Amino acid sequence: MAAAASAAGVAWAGIGVVGNQVTDDRPAPLSSEQVAQELQANQAPATTTTNAPDGGTSTTAPPADPSATTKTYRMQGGVVTLRFSPAGVEVVGASPYEGFTVDTEPEHGNGVRVEFESDSHRSRLDAWWDGGPQVEPREDDGGGRGPG
């Protein structure tokens, strides 16, 4: 019984030491003004410098396009997330539901086509940029994969 009491005491002391190390030295919470300053500092334009073939550096890349937008579409065959911008459409992610496969390919010059297909159904989404995001979804029963 003395060994059990001793073990409990040691465990309790260990928990106290670790707890004090975790909770005692936390930084103070930021004020709303400090949060605003941090956000403003982190929103500075990003620049990227790459090595040029001559060993120097190339000019910096422009900041991300502010007109770009990301949208998610839920279809019968799966979920697709696309990023639209005047430069075109990019597939961020495409996740087929169980029993479906996914295929993506360029379309419309600056767009993309995403298809989710099963043995009995096809979900298709054509997307492109024409003054803004443009999409054409299509759900077809009975038009899925054929045998072999």
126 within domain boundaries? yes
Decide: 84 and 71 in contact? Cβ < 8 Å.
Answer: yes
Is 119 within a domain? yes
At 22-76, the pLDDT tens digits run: 555 555 565 666 666 666 665 544 433 344 444 444 464 445 567 789 999 999 9
Output the pLDDT for position 36: 63
With respect to residue 15, please indicate whether it lies within any of the assigned structural domains: no
pTM exceeding 0.95 = no
Residue 74 lies in a domain: yes
Residue 7 lies in a domain: no
Q: Count of domains in the chain? A: 1
pLDDT digits (tens, 9 = 90+) for 72-129: 999 999 999 999 999 999 999 999 999 999 999 988 688 999 999 999 999 999 999 9
Domain membership of residue 5 (yes or no) is no
DSSP state of 131: S
Q: Does 44 map to a domain?
A: no
Q: Does residue 120 fall inside a structural domain?
A: yes
Residue span of the structural domain in which 128 resides: 69-141
Distances (CA, A) of 126 to 38, 71, 93, 96, 141: 40, 13, 15, 16, 18
